[in-house]
């Protein structure tokens, strides 16, 4: 049953609006928070009632833990056990699009529900200046999953958050369109064991070169491999059926192109990056899927995306968006 009654306001990150955001967070409420990856639905990570509200607002299964956002390594060290390698990664990539999963400290004040009862905690220091300011002034970790209903497409603008959760939160801080547009890379670092849990804009080669050890990729079928509960779920999914590696599209399909669109396509075309730039394609991906989903087409046909660099993260998301078995 829906018992929310808000009409969310989109507010620029002016000082009085940041004050209001902090007041809502301190009172156990939730706000829409801009980050450089995607927008988050943010609450006090140490307040179990506030976190329970996040799970309810998103309709998120409670076995799927949240990322707690910190201002930097110093704050993170109060909550997680950072091995030498974990510290190296934090120093190299924070603030930025890397989430590090580490063992929880015995005195970790982040609530159990945010960690879904696991012995580990996911921490990230975002780079977006509004997020940085809010976390620093709040002085405690802020849990923020992507600000979408569980399973749907992550929001990359304030108006996307309004469309997803407008009736369920009070305010959304408008930090513009997300620069990266895909969720952070998630890596588990337990001692000197490094495991990639979710692809993102920080690639596996970069991680390995900073960590100085081999980076494993999470194996969903090996019960001993560290995993991200969220990766077991269907996700990033438009309502319209998705067809991958499409060379062209029929009249009743919408075509999402990468590079030059094929001249044979006669339906509606949405361009991810006319010049074939993967970073630009990542930034446009979710907005393109949202737009395509509104057209009432029979299917969304998506051009092949090269599996290099951030292309691996794009293909990971598209795979989940299109696979009805997940
Ligand atoms: O870019 C991002 O990471 C965005 C912005 C808002 O920071 N947040 C985000 O949160 O994508 P969410 O909740 O949509 O995805 C978090 C992922 C999930 O797949 C979850 O299972 C995983 O991180 N995760 C969180 N805590 C974990 C833990 N202790 N162990 C393994 N995976 C964890
Ligand atoms: Mg998400």
* pLDDT for residue 33: 98
Q: 61 CB under 6 A from ligand 1?
A: no
CB-ligand 1 contact for 179 (6 Å cutoff): no
* Statement: residue 261 has pLDDT above 80: no
The answer on pLDDT for 13 being more than 70 is yes
The ligand whose atoms approach the alpha carbon of 70 most closely is: 1
Give the count of beta carbons closer than 10 Å to the beta carbon of residue 290: 20
Compute the distance between CA of residue 299 and CA of residue 183 in angstroms, rounded to an integer. Answer: 25
- For residue 115, how far is its CA from the centre of ligand 1 (angstroms)? 10
pLDDT above 80: residue 233: no
**pLDDT at residue 313 greater than cutoff 60:** yes
Residue whose C-alpha is closest to residue 211's, from 232, 189, 240, 234: 189
* pLDDT attached to residue 267: 73
Q: Which atom of ligand 1 is nearest to the CA of 99?
A: 3
Residue whose CA lies nearest to ligand 1 atom number 21: 230
Pick from 294, 313, 314: nearest CA to 303: 314
Residue 141 near residue 51, CB atoms below 8 Å: no
CB 101 less than 6 A from any atom of ligand 1 = yes
Domains defined along the chain, listed by start: 9-217 (3.90.870.10), 241-321 (3.40.50.11030)
Q: Is the per-residue pLDDT at 24 higher than 70?
A: yes
Mean pLDDT of the chain: 93
Span from the CA of 70 to the centroid of ligand 1 (angstroms): 14
Query: Is the CB–ligand 1 distance for residue 130 below 6 Å?
Result: no
Residues flanking ion ligand 2, Cβ below 5 Å: 146
Entry pTM: 0.95
Q: What is the pLDDT of residues 277-286, one digit of tens each?
A: 999 999 999 9
| Mean pLDDT across 261-289 | 89
Q: What is the DSSP string of 65-84?
A: PPEEE-SSHHHHTTTB---H
139-174 pLDDT, tens digit per residue, is 999 999 999 999 899 999 999 999 999 999 999 999
Burial profile 35-50: b = 16 or more Cβ within 10 angstroms, e = fewer: bbbbbbbbbbbbbeeb
What's the order of all strands across the beta sheet hosting 142-143?
9-11, 171-173, 31-33, 40-44, 142-143, 67-69, 120-124, 98-103, 185-190, 193-198, 215-217
Q: Residue whose CA is closest, atom 13 of ligand 1? A: 145
Does ligand 1 have an atom closer than 6 angstroms to the CB of 146? yes
In this structure, what DSSP letter does residue 229 have? G
In which band, very low, low, confident or very high, does the pLDDT at 240 lie, cut at 50, 70 and 90? very high
Weakest-pLDDT range from 19-28, 147-156, 227-236, 275-284:
227-236
- Our measurement of the distance from residue 87's CA atom to the centroid of its chain's CA atoms, rounded to an integer in Å, reads 22
Residue range 90-112: mean pLDDT, rounded? 98
Q: Label residue 263 by pLDDT band (50, 70, 90).
A: low
Number of H helices, E strands in the chain: 9, 15
To test the ligand 1 pocket, which listed residue (57, 61, 65) has its Cβ within 8 A of the most ligand atoms?
Answer: 65
pLDDT for the residue 4? 74
Among the bound ligands, the one closest to the CA of 148: 2
Q: What token pair was written down for 31?
A: 């706000």
Question: Which structure tokens are listed for 73?
Answer: 């390594």
């Amino acid at each position: 049953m829906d018992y929310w009654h808000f009409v969310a306001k989109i507010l620029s990150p002016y000082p009085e609006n940041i004050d209001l955001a902090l007041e809502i967070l301190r009172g156990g409420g939730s706000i829409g928070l801009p980050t450089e990856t995607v927008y988050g639905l943010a609450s006090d990570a140490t307040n179990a009632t506030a976190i329970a509200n996040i799970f309810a607002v998103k309709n998120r299964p409670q076995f799927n833990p949240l990322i707690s956002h910190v201002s930097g390594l110093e704050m993170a060290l109060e909550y997680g056990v950072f091995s030498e390698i974990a510290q190296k990664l934090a120093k190299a990539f924070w603030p930025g699009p890397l989430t590090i999963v580490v063992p929880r400290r015995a005195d970790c004040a982040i609530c159990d529900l945010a960690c879904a009862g696991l012995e580990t905690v996911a921490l990230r220091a975002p780079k977006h200046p509004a997020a940085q300011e809010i976390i620093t002034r709040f002085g405690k970790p802020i849990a923020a999953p992507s600000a979408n209903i569980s399973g749907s497409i992550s929001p990359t603008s304030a108006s996307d958050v309004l469309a997803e959760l407008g009736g369920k939160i009070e305010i959304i801080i408008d930090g513009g369109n997300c620069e990266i547009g895909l969720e952070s890379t998630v890596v588990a670092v337990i001692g000197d064991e490094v495991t990639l849990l979710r692809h993102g804009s920080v690639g596996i080669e970069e991680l390995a070169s900073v960590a100085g050890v081999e980076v494993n990729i999470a194996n969903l079928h090996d019960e001993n491999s560290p995993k991200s509960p969220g990766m077991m779920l269907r996700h990033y999914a438009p309502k319209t059926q998705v067809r991958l590696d499409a060379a062209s599209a029929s009249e009743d399909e919408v075509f999402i192109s990468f590079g030059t669109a094929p001249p044979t396509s006669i339906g509606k075309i949405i361009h991810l990056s006319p010049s074939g730039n993967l970073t630009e394609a990542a930034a446009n991906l979710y907005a393109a899927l949202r737009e395509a989903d509104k057209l009432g087409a029979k299917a969304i046909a998506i051009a092949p995306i090269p599996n290099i660099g951030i292309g691996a993260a794009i293909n990971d998301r598209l795979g989940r968006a299109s696979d009805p078995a997940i």
